């Protein structure tokens, strides 16, 4: 049974594409067949994060226009052969596809893969509707900022209305020191508001920027960073494993430790 | 929500105005009121622990007229209605006199329908037959198709369509639904809006009212869940929230100042009762109790639910 998961957030710049690239790669590393679909037509980025830009020949738009076969458009990853990318067209905009076309695209892709991730564009307009149309479940990415959480809340409401009930929350770019100083929303604050199960907390990490610019997902690094480990843990949780949440604690403090304990009790 | 949007010369006067001296307008232009909310905190953000009845109030009353709201007032609390009547599950669309055709957005309507259905999913039985009352609204086959798709997600089947419009009837028949075509007559729903309509049945929803969701109902609303920041509930009757109220709640939107807002945890962005507006104190509270917001001559007050007894209610009514 293929899991078709949309990665979405509402607000832009919170890390949807980074999450898609790293989760896809982490799952491919444990030998799952993974397809990543870039649904951000006109503003595609996923290929850059994966370092696959120069291998793109055809895009989803050409597949839909029947100018090529689906297999021709799929870009196999250079490091993990079980990962493929279906790139979006860069020279078109969101009107280039409809929700029905996305559904047919995903349904023809699904049988060969265990995971299909759809990287949604920001916003709640047609691009977003295209991205969520084929999805069975959703990963909501948010940063611990009030604007990002508010937008995520809106998106959760829209997904619920579309009948996508299986949703998990990823809190990205958390800075434990700032949370401790009460300068940043805590994991608990965000979770309390959005009221969907948490699947991962990713610490803010400069190496994310480096990895983006190099086209090398964090999870491929020799000595993985905390953020990289967080992504791997999310992948394992998607697989159904129970993985303890990372110790993002700053030394000499146990407020977070208490908080995490509180959180563990709520997580399946 | 800009609380300081109104012109400064008016804010000073209106803030001192007492509720009693204000003309109670029947229909508040709800969409316009945010702009008019030059709400000034006149209440004290006193400690909620005090047993004092009026524990944490921060409010001012504003009249729509003073702030230059448009004269033609539309009661825009009309939205779709789902109800059971004489054993039939009905979906009633707002008539064109309630929501003009130009303002009727079909995709928003579908969204609203899905939200309402999911909010009562626990009580929906599969293969329920739904009867659509579209009255004088024009619907085409594509819209019927979208409607039945939305309903299918909840295992509900569209059975019949009641309409006054010929084109809608034809579209419904083409789509395979039975049609009851009625001539347009002066029924209750098509009566001019000046007629005093009784309050609609209470709307009971099991849902989190999330950011961007707007629930409007010409009666009392009961929410089993939270109202998140950015979410709005506007009711002509009372609003009961069995959860946290962090968004905007407007009770008595048709102008009844005796309506109340109750919540297990009261942290609203803004509270409105009839034409009074209050906003929460800047300082967030540490402890929360079930609370009731009601109007007094001084404006909106929040009282601990435990102290808000029957006698209190009857005092308000006087």
* Structural domains in chain A, sorted by start: 3-266 (3.40.50.300)
Place of tokens 């009693």: B20
Q: What is the pTM of this model?
A: 0.74
Contact B210 A157 (CB under 8 A): yes
B145 contact A CB<8A: no
pLDDT confidence band for A265 (50 / 70 / 90): low
**pLDDT tens for residues B254-266?**
889 999 999 999 9
B194, B199, B201, B207 alpha-carbon torsion, rounded to 10°:
90
Q: Do A163 and B229 touch (CB under 8 A)?
A: no
Q: Across chain B, what does the average pLDDT equal?
A: 73
Q: Write the DSSP symbol of residue A85.
A: E
Of the CA atoms within 13 Å of residue A2, those in its CB half-sphere come to: 21
Q: Which pLDDT band, with edges at 50, 70 and 90, does A34 fall under? A: very high
- Which residue from A104, A100, A134 is spatially nearest to A118, judged by alpha carbons? A134
Is B229's Cβ below 8 Å from some Cβ in A?
yes
Chain A contact residues (CB < 8 Å to B): 150-151, 153-154, 156-158, 160-163, 193, 195
CATH code, residues B19-75+199-318: 2.160.20.70
Q: Find all residues with CB under 8 Å of B68, minimum gap 6, and list them.
A: none
* Minimal CA separation from B108 to chain A, in Å: 11
Please tell me the predicted confidence (pLDDT) of residue A95: 86
Topology alike, domains B19-75+199-318 and B81-181: no
Minimal-distance CA residue of chain B relative to A151: B211
B128 interface with A at CB cutoff 8 Å: no
Position B114 scores a pLDDT of 87
Q: With beta carbons under 8 A apart, name residues in chain A contacting B211.
A: 150-151, 153-154, 157
Residue B160 at interface with chain A, using a CB cutoff of 8 Å: no
Tell me whether residues B212 and A154 touch, CB distance under 8 A: yes
Per residue in B116-150, pLDDT tens?
888 888 888 888 889 998 888 888 999 999 899 88
Measured between CA atoms, the residue of chain A closest to residue B227 is A193
Q: What was the ipTM of the complex prediction?
A: 0.79
Measured between beta carbons, which residues in chain B are less than 8 angstroms from residue A163? 114, 118, 153
Among B109, B115, B156, B212, pick the best mutation site for testing chain A contact (most A Cβ within 10 A).
B212
Give residue B305's pLDDT band: very low, low, confident or very high (50, 70, 90). Answer: confident
> Which residues, numbered 24 to 63 in chain B, qualify as contacts with chain A under a Cβ-Cβ cut-off of 8 Å?
none
DSSP state letters, chain B:
--TT-S-HHHHHHHHH--GGGS---SS--GGGTTTT------S----TTS--SB-S--EEE--TTTTT--SS---TT---EEEEETTEEEEEPPPTTTS-GGG--HHHHHHHHHHHHHTTGGGPPTTEEEEEEEET----HHHHHHHHHHHHTTTEEEEEEEES-HHHHHHHHHTT-EEEE------TTTS-TTS-PPPEEEEEEES-B-TT-EEEESEEEEEES-B-TT-EEEESS-EEEEEEE-SEEEESTTS-TT--EEEEEE--SEEEETTEEEE--SSPPSS---EEEEEETTEEEEEEGGG--HHHHHHHH-
Does domain B81-181 bear CATH number 3.40.50.150?
Answer: no
Min Cα distance A95 → chain B (Å) is 17
- Residues A165-219 pLDDT 10s: 999 999 999 999 999 998 999 999 999 999 999 999 999 999 999 999 999 999 9
Nearest-CA distance B112 → chain A (Å): 8
Of the candidates A151, A160, A193, the beta carbon closest to that of B118 is on A160
Tens of pLDDT, residues B172-211: 998 889 888 776 554 555 444 445 667 788 899 999 999 9
Q: How much is the pLDDT for B316?
A: 56
Every domain of chain B and the residues it spans: 19-75+199-318, 81-181
Instruction: Please tell me which of the candidates B111, B115, B210 has its beta carbon nearest to residue A153.
Output: B210
Mean pLDDT of the region B38-47: 35
- Mind listing the pLDDT tens digit for each residue in A163-179? 899 999 999 999 999 99
A193 CB neighbours in chain B (<8 A) are 228-229, 246
Q: What's the pLDDT score for residue A249?
A: 67
Interface residue B115 vs chain A (CB under 8 A): yes
Say yes or no for a CB contact (<8 Å) between B228 and A193: yes
Q: Which residue has the tokens 């400064």?
A: B8
pLDDT level of residue A231 (50, 70, 90 thresholds):
very high
Ranges A11-20, A65-74, B68-77, B280-289: which has the least confidence: B68-77
Residue B269: its chain A contacts at CB < 8 A? none
All residues of chain B having their beta carbon less than 8 Å from the beta carbon of residue A154 are 210-212, 230
Contact A175, A204 (CB under 8 A): yes
What chain B residue is nearest to A124 in terms of C-alpha separation?
A: B212
- B226: closest chain A residue by CA: A193
The pLDDT confidence band at residue A224, using thresholds 50, 70 and 90, is confident
- Distance in angstroms (rounded) separating the CA atoms of residues B251 and B248: 10
């Amino acid at each position: 049974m293929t899991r078709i998961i949309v990665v979405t957030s509402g607000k832009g710049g919170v890390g949807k594409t980074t999450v898609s690239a790293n989760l896809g790669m982490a799952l491919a590393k444990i030998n799952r067949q993974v397809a990543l679909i870039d649904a951000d037509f006109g503003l595609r980025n996923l290929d850059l994060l994966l370092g696959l830009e120069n291998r793109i020949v055809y895009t989803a738009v050409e597949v839909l226009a029947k100018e090529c076969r689906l297999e021709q458009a799929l870009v196999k990853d250079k490091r993990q052969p079980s990962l493929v990318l279906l790139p979006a067209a860069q020279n078109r905009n969101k009107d280039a596809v409809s929700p029905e076309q996305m559904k047919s695209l995903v349904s023809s892709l699904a049988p060969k893969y265990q995971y299909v991730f759809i990287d949604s564009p920001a916003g709640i307009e047609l691009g977003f509707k295209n991205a969520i149309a084929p999805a069975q479940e959703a990963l909501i990415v948010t940063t611990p900022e009030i604007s990002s959480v508010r937008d995520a809340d809106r998106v959760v409401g829209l997904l619920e209305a579309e009948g996508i009930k299986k949703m998990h929350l990823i809190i990205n770019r958390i800075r434990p020191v700032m949370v401790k100083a009460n300068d940043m929303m805590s994991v608990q604050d965000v979770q309390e508001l959005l009221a969907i199960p948490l699947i991962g907390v990713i610490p803010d990490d400069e190496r994310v920027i480096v990895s983006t610019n190099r086209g090398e997902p964090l999870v491929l690094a020799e000595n993985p960073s905390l953020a990289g480990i967080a992504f791997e843990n999310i992948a394992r949780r998607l697989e159904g494993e129970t993985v303890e949440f990372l110790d993002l604690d700053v030394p000499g403090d146990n407020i977070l430790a208490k908080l995490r304990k509180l959180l563990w009790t709520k997580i399946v | 929500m800009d609380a300081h949007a109104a012109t400064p010369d008016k804010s000073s006067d209106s803030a001192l105005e007492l509720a009693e001296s204000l003309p109670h307008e029947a229909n508040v232009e709800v969409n316009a009121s945010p702009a008019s909310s030059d709400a000034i905190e006149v209440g004290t953000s006193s400690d909620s622990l005090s047993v004092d009845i009026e524990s944490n109030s921060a409010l001012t009353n504003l009249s729509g007229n003073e702030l230059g709201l448009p004269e033609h007032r539309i009661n825009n609390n009309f939205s779709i209605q789902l109800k059971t009547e004489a054993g039939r599950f009905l979906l009633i669309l707002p008539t064109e006199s309630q929501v003009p055709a130009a303002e009727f957005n079909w995709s928003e309507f579908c969204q609203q329908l899905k939200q309402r259905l999911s909010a009562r999913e626990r009580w929906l039985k599969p293969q329920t037959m739904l009867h659509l009352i579209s009255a004088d609204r024009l619907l085409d086959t594509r819209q019927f198709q979208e409607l039945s798709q939305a309903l299918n997600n909840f295992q509900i089947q569209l059975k019949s369509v009641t309409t006054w419009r010929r084109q809608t009837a034809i579209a419904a028949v083409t789509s395979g639904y039975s049609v009851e075509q009625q001539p347009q007559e002066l029924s209750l729903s098509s009566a001019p809006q000046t007629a005093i309509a009784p309050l609609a049945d209470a709307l009971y929803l099991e849902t989190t009212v999330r950011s961007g969701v707007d629930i409007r109902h010409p009666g009392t609303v009961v929410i089993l869940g939270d109202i998140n920041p950015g979410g709005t509930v506007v009711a002509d009757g009372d609003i009961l929230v069995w959860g946290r109220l962090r968004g905007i709640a407007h009770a008595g939107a048709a102008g009844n100042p005796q309506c109340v807002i109750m919540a297990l945890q009261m942290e609203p962005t803004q509270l409105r009762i009839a034409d009074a507006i209050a906003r929460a104190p800047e300082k967030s509270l540490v402890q929360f109790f079930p609370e009731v917001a009601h109007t007094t001559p001084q404006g909106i007050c929040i009282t601990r639910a435990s102290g808000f007894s029957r006698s209190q209610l009857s005092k308000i009514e006087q």
